[in-house]
Structure 1
Amino acid sequence: MGVKTIVQQQYRNIVDSAAASAAGLKAPPEGWLRTVRSALGMSGADVAKKMGVTRARVPAAERAELAGGVTLKSMQAAAEAMGCRFVYAIVPASGHVEDIITAQARKKAMAIVGTASTHMALENQKLPDDKIDQEVERLTREIAQEMPPNFWNDQ
C-alpha cells in the first residue's frame, strides 16, 4: 500500500467518523441559532450584546440561517456568544465514503459493459444477464480500487 493510499484511507476514516457522529442529526425547524438561544433562555438582545452587534443582527442571522444565507463566521460568532462552539461538516449521505466511490465505479463499469454488450449483441454474441452482472461487479471492484484519472468524469 502506497503513501497516497494510506493518506486517502486516513481522510476516508475522518469523513466516515464525522458521518457516524452526525447520523440522525437534523437542523431544528427554527434553526440552530434560535433553538440554542431559546434553550439557554437568552434574548436576542443578550446575544447581540455578547457579540458586540446591534439587536437587529441576531434575528437577521436567525432568518439568514433558515434561508441558507448565513456565513460560517456569523454562526461561529453567535455560537461563541452563547458559550457554544460551531461545528459543520460535509458527510456522505450514506454514511461512508466507500459507498460514493463504489457507486461511481459501478456507473463507469455499467457504461463499459453496456458498450461491450451492445457490440456483442450486434454480432449475435450477447452474454447472458448473469454473466453481464458478474462482469459489472468485477469491473466495479477493479475501477474502485484503481480510481483512474478520469474516475469522476461522467463521460
Structure 2
Amino acid sequence: MSVKQAVREQYQATVNRVPVGTIHLPAEGWIRTVRKALGMSGAQLAQRMGVTRARIAQAERAELDGGVTLKSMQATAEAMGCRFVYAFEPPAAIETIIVAQARKKAEAIVGAAARHMALEDQTVSDSRTEQEVSRLMRELIHEMPADFWQDK
C-alpha cells in the first residue's frame, strides 16, 4: 500500500466515524431552538454577546436562509454555553461514494469502447462487459487518477 493510499484510508476512517442520520436541523434553526430550550430571550442572548436584539433576530433568519457564518455560529453557541460543531454527513460509508464514482467512470469508459467496437461489428457479451467494468472499477479505486471525480 502506498503512502497516498494509507493517508486516504485514514481520512475515510475519520469521515466514516460521523454518525449518519443522527443530527437534523430543527425547524426554527439551532440558534432559536437552543435559546428557547435554555429559556433565554433574544434580548438576553444579545446582551451576553454584546450585540443588539435585532442582530440576534438577523442571525436566526440568516441561519435558516443559509447565510450565517461559522464564526457567528461559534460565537452564538459559546454565548449560550454550548459548543458549536459542524460536519459533512455522507449518506453511507465514504467507500460507497468512491465505488459509485468508480462504477460511473468505468461504465462510461467501457461504454465508449463498446460503441466503437459495435461500429466495427465486434460486440462483446453483457457478462464480458460487466467483467471489464468490475476490473476497471478496481483499478480506478486503487489508482484514483487525477480525473477520478471528473464526470467527462
Which TM-score band applies after superposition, normalised by the shorter structure?
over 0.9
How far does the alpha carbon of each residue in 1:68-101 deviate from its partner, in whole angstroms, 9 at most, with x for none?
0011111111100111011111232x23221221
TM-score by length of 2: 0.93
Question: What is aligned with 2:128?
Answer: 131
Question: What is aligned with 2:7?
Answer: 7
What is the SS of the residue equivalent to 1:88? coil
Q: % of aligned pairs identical?
A: 61
Aligned 8 A contact 1:104 1:152 in 2: yes
Q: Which moved more, 1:6-15 or 1:95-104?
A: 95-104
1:35-74 aligned within 5 A? 35-74=33-72
1:1-150 aligned within 5 A? 1-18=1-18, 21-92=19-90, 94-150=91-147
Q: How many residues align?
A: 152
CA-atom RMSD, angstroms? 1.3
Aligned-partner residue type, residue 41 of structure 1: G
Query: Which whole-Å CA distance do the structure 2 matches of 1:123 and 1:111 have between them?
Result: 19
Unaligned residue ranges in structure 1 (runs of 5+):
none
TM-score by length of 1: 0.91
Aligned-partner residue type, residue 24 of structure 1: T
Aligned 8 A contact 1:23 1:95 in 2: no
Query: Which whole-Å CA distance do the structure 2 matches of 1:64 and 1:28 have between them?
Result: 14
Q: Confirm whether residue 151 of structure 1 aligns to residue 148 of structure 2.
A: yes
